[in-house]
Amino acid sequence: MTVSSAASSLHLQEHFYHQLHRLSELLYKLIVLRKRNIHLPRSLGLTTLSSKNTTLSLKMQPGTNWQPLDIAVIGGGIGGLAVSIALRRDGHKVTIYERADFAGEVGASISCAANGMKWLSEWGVDIAKGDGVYLRKLINRDWATGEPVSVYDLGDYEEKWGHPYYMFHRQDMHKMLMDTAMQEEGKGTPVKLIVNHKCQDINTETGEVTFHNGTQVKHDAIIGADGIGSQVRKLIGIQVEKRPADSSCLHANVDTAEAVKRGYVDYSKNSAIEYWGGHHSWNKIVLSPCNGGSLLSYYCFFPREKGDYSEQKWDADADVSELLAPYPDLDPNGVHKHLEIGKEIRPWRLWVHEPYSHWQKGVACIMGDAAHPMMPDQSQGACMALEDSAALGLVFSKEFYAGSVPEALKLYEKVRHWRASRVQAASARARENIHERIGFTDNTDNPLYKVKDEKNKLTIAEMNSYDMREDVKSKWPSAWPQSRSPVRKPSGLDAEVAPQTNGVNGSEIAH
């Protein structure tokens, strides 16, 4: 026998004994699992099998065991449509179940900064359909005179952050997203929308959904995008801790053409979000232009003792006298004149919510206002829903999905909970102090500037430089593979018995 053939024989023997050793380890673990009454999952993609004290955990390889899923989205608002687009583009079948039929809705303006516009662009949404206003400034005005106190220039915003800052009318943004979700063109299968289906119950293990009309369906995953009064949130066991805010809000729309016809100030020319007050009292007016500037959307805040709307519904009407009553000393020749011709006046219930303990259970999760309702003062509510949608798209993508819906949803929670909770807290601070608002936190030359904690303030840079894909990698259940080529699908030989972890990832969530 030659030296080379002897070496080759020795190598084969070593390989044989190595494989035999691995096989014996696997058999031992299977015996342990059998004794503990644990059964192998139906799907080879499942990464965990839990008994009281143990979890069978596969060394997950990102992007392995990918398969198209049949996903239910509960709620057909902006968040529900956005997540449907993200999931559709990655090859999944998506059905939206909406409790109403969208008839008779009265909308307000909605803000979409670069961290939200980034995803609309990536998903191929036709922004022109939204008839938005390209924002160029944030203007803070004196309460009594209307004179600018400070101006934050957004002239280089798109160049700096790669995407513009837009204001849309909610109905226009909704239609823009619906067209993208349901059109034949574009990646994936068009999303299916079923209206007048109010969720009553879900099974977080089997994916079954029961509706109030008696209909029952079954899906691989359930995403609760059903808003601040979320039924899905309740059904996955979240205890809501909230308190009424110290201020109330009325919203009103003003037609720009009518204001100009009456000789009032034409605020639409500024292409800006404009503010009155917000420094030393709960009084604050926020103006957001939309519909290409033809509609001015006003958010009017005042102390709750002057009007408590915490229990009223959005579609309850108020009149102009109610809108003007809290503001006898407000800029008489400017914004006060606009409010005098306000229409579609609606109360906005303001509640301060503590971050929820978890966002997922089994094959179900929540997103958007269902997961992190926040005060409106950072104008980040829609952007956070878009980021949630993007995160769900990523964890179920060919790049990241490893075959287990529950594990993907745990990863989604780890990626999103800390960031959304941070914005939630900053929004509550900005309700009390306008200088805590993103943008004004960078405007330190303002003589009135003051924030609670300079190190903890939320900045434009933090919001817009965030790299979600890198965040997903950093929060991967095991170390992110340095090399992913060639990728070998995990098999039973890669299994190991590990201590069980909780489903909330509590120690990893920044509250």
pLDDT digits (tens, 9 = 90+) for 384-424: 999 999 999 999 999 999 999 999 999 999 999 999 998 88
> 293 CB contacts (<8 Å, ≥6 apart)?
133, 256, 268, 269, 271
Give the largest CA-CA distance in the chain. 105
The pLDDT of residue 152: 87
What is the SS3 assignment for 242? strand
CA 59, 60, 66, 69: dihedral to nearest 10 degrees?
A: 110
Q: Measure the CA–CA gap between 202 and 191, rounded to whole angstroms.
A: 21
DSSP character string of 157-226: HHHHHSS--EEEEHHHHHHHHHHHHH-SSSSSPPPEEE-S--EEEE-TTT-EEEETTS-EEE-SEEEE--
Residue 23 Cα distances to 30, 404, 492, 493, angstroms: 11, 24, 9, 7
β partners of residue 250: 300, 347
Q: Measure the CA–CA gap between 216 and 350, rounded to whole angstroms.
A: 34
The pLDDT of residue 350: 86
β partners of residue 498: 55
β partners of residue 210: 201, 216
Token pair recorded at residue 205: 């293990």
What's the burial of 337, exposed, middle or buried (CB within 10 Å: 0-12/13-18/19+)?
A: middle
Tens of pLDDT, residues 159-198: 999 999 999 999 999 999 999 999 998 888 999 999 999 9
- Tell which residue, 242, 226, 273, has the closest CA to residue 377: 273
Tens of pLDDT, residues 74-125: 999 999 999 999 999 999 999 999 998 776 556 789 999 999 999 999 999 9
Residue 40 Cα distances to 47, 363, 408, angstroms: 10, 18, 19
Amino acid at residue number 184: E
CB atoms inside a 10 Å sphere around CB 375: 24
Q: Which helix (H) or strand (E) holds 344?
A: strand 343-348
| 350-371: b (≥16 Cβ within 10 Å) or e | bebbebbebbbbbbbbbbbbbb
Q: Measure the CA–CA gap between 344 and 297, rounded to whole angstroms.
A: 10
Q: Measure the CA–CA gap between 443 and 450, rounded to whole angstroms.
A: 10
Q: Which residue has the tokens 């108020």?
A: 318
CB atoms inside a 10 Å sphere around CB 290: 28
The pLDDT of residue 150: 86
Q: Measure the CA–CA gap between 91 and 376, rounded to whole angstroms.
A: 34
Cα-Cα end-to-end distance for the chain:
68
Fold of 70-243+353-474: FAD/NAD(P)-binding domain (3.50.50)
β partners of residue 167: 111, 133
> Residue ranges of the domains in the chain?
70-243+353-474
The pLDDT of residue 6: 47
The pLDDT of residue 485: 38
Q: Measure the CA–CA gap between 238 and 232, rounded to whole angstroms.
A: 9
Cis? peptide before 148, omega within 30° of 0:
no
The pLDDT of residue 36: 44
Q: Are 409 and 503 in contact (CB under 8 A)?
A: no
Mark the ranges of the chain whose per-residue pLDDT is less than 70.
1-60, 103-106, 280-281, 307-316, 431-458, 478-511
Q: Measure the CA–CA gap between 286 and 305, rounded to whole angstroms.
A: 20
Q: Are 364 and 376 in contact (CB under 8 A)?
A: no
CB atoms inside a 10 Å sphere around CB 479: 8
